[in-house]
Amino acid sequence: MVNRVVLNNQIHRDVRIAATRPTRENAEVNAVSVIPREFPRLLAHYPIFFTKNMETGRFEPSALLGFQPQENLFFVDGRWDAAYVPLLIQRQPFSLITRRAEDSDGKPPSLDVALDLSQTVQSHDGERLFLEDGQPTKFLQGITSMLSALVAGAKETYSFTGRLAELSLIEPVQIDIEFVNGSETKLQGLYWIATAALKVLPAAQLAELRDREFLEWMYFQMASVAHVSALVLRKNRLLSGATPARP
């Protein structure tokens, strides 16, 4: 059970967070929601697609990590096997809790940094959260800026994908994969940029996409699809290591 408590520099003065993260429980997912500001760094490793948020039906970009539920091919022998870890996983076990709802005059809700105590991340040799004088450590400052980036990123994400959907620039894609051992999988529920629609997009709308940075984000998504084959390769390596070669 998740047990989130708001951070407090008195109560949590001596808490330390394990240096080796993410932990298995945070890493065992086959996709993770990402934000456009991460795209340049994600592009080095991960295929990015759009998926629908189960709660809202809205499109959001996700990095694909594996082919089965809970299969993360980037998490190897208890360690993350890529130079960049998506923010949503990196920030664990921290999150933001809303202190009060959004004001009617449009002031954003105020947020507190919270720690999930249910996660086994406290250790003796880990990172401290607060200095002796109660000020946040560099580590905690880093976490806080990650969390604010995610909040800002969610807003950007939905204006980005909302506009793409309006312009019919997102389309569903089904990817059929055959692995080295002959097993097959169909990736469903994934969407990508509708390149045919993009090619005939009127200039005014193209300019709008460019001015809002959406155009480069779209190209990052399109380019990232090449990583699907790298992901298959990771899986094939696992499969051929795990099963004896066939005669």
Partner 1 sequence: MSPAEPQPLRKILIVGGGTAGWITAGVLASRYPRRGEEGVSITLIESRQQPPIGVGEGTWPTIRATLKQIGVTETDFLRECDASFKQGSQFVKWVDGGDADAYYHPFTLPAGHEDRNFAPYWLEDPRGQSFADSMCFQTDVCRHALAPKQITTPEFTGLANYAYHLDAGKFGPFLQKHCVEKLGVGHRYDEIVRVESRDTGDISHLVTKSGEVLTADLFIDCSGFSSLLIGKHFAVPFLPKKDVLFIDKAWAVQIPYPTDDDAINSTTMATAQSAGWVWDIGLTTRRGVGYVFSSGHISDEGALEELKNYLGARGNLSRELSFRKIDINSGYRQEFWTRNCVAVGLSAGFLEPLEASAIVMIELSAKSIANLLPSCSGGMRQAARIFNDTFRYRWERIVDFLKLHYVLSRRTDSRFWIDNRARESIPNSLREGLQFWGGHCPWHDDFAHREEVFSSASYQYILYGMGFQTYPAPWLLNDHDRNLAREKMSETAQYAKLLTASLPGNRDLLSKVRRYGFQKI
Find residue 51's DSSP bridge partners.
60
By CB under 8 A, is residue 52 in contact with partner 1?
yes
Report which of 146, 79, 161 is spatially closest to residue 113, judged by C-alpha positions.
146
Bridge partners of 130, per DSSP, are 136
Helices and strands per DSSP (H, E), number in the chain: 8, 12
Q: Which helix (H) or strand (E) holds 16?
A: strand 16-17
- Report the C-alpha gap between 88 and 131 in whole angstroms: 25
- x/- site string to partner 1, residues 104 to 143, per CB under 8 A? ----------------------------------------
Answer yes or no whether residue 170 interacts with partner 1 by CB under 8 A.
Answer: yes
Q: Which of 1, 14, 55, 199 binds partner 1 (CB under 8 A)?
A: 55
Residue 165 sits in the site that holds partner 1 (CB under 8 A): yes
Q: According to the binding rule CB under 8 A, does residue 57 interact with partner 1? A: yes
Min CB(202)–partner 1 separation in Å: 18
* Residue 64 binds partner 1 (CB under 8 A): no
57 vs 182, which CB is nearer to partner 1?
A: 57
C-alpha distances (whole Å) from 122 to each of 21, 143, 173 are 11, 16, 42
Q: Which of 25, 102, 103, 171 binds partner 1 (CB under 8 A)?
A: 171
Answer for which of 1, 54, 101, 203 binds partner 1 (CB under 8 A) is 54
Contact 61, 53 (CB under 8 A): no
Query: Considering only 49-57, 137-145, 196-204, 235-243, which stretch makes contact with partner 1 by CB under 8 A?
Result: 49-57
| Residue 167: how many other CB atoms lie within 10 Å | 18
Residue type, 183: S
Nearer Cβ to partner 1 (24/58) = 58
56 binding partner 1? (CB under 8 A): yes
60 neighbors 51 (Cβ within 8 angstroms): yes
Residues forming contacts to partner 1 in the complex (CB under 8 A) are: 52-59, 165, 168, 170-172, 191
